[in-house]
Amino acid sequence: MRIYKRGDRGFHGYGRPLRDSNGGEIEVYESSAATAPHVWLNIDSRRWDRDATGSVSAHLDQKQARAVIARLQAWLNEVPTRWGKKWVKP
């Protein structure tokens, strides 16, 4: 995954923004919060949701980011048993 400078203030972005299965855009980037390390998880669904007025962002500390990762990993771990091995993608 490529780490890059996002904007002119030198904060990092993590990987290129990616499209979800409906065409929305997901981006993860470093926060400018000075109190402690934080990251933004931004989801912009305006490409597929005509009623959406903007993006939705979560401002996560390290503990919260790990909790999101754990939930996504639990879903990934469950795919083979709920959907079958043919659906497992690298």
Q: Give the CA distances from residue 13 to residues 22, 31, 77, 81, in Å, rounded to whole numbers and listed in that order.
A: 22, 10, 27, 34
Mean pLDDT in residue range 43-48? 78
Structural domain total, the chain? 1
Average pLDDT, the chain: 90
Per-residue model confidence (pLDDT) at position 83: 93
When pLDDT is cut at 50, 70 and 90, the band that residue 52 belongs to is low
Domain of residue 70: give its range.
3-87
pLDDT over 70 (residue 50):
no
CA torsion through residues 55, 56, 59, 60, sign? negative
Per-residue model confidence (pLDDT) at position 67: 98
The model's pTM is 0.84
Q: Which among 10, 47, 8 has a CA at the least distance from the CA of 26?
A: 47
| E strand intervals along 15-90 | 18-19, 25-30, 39-44, 55-60
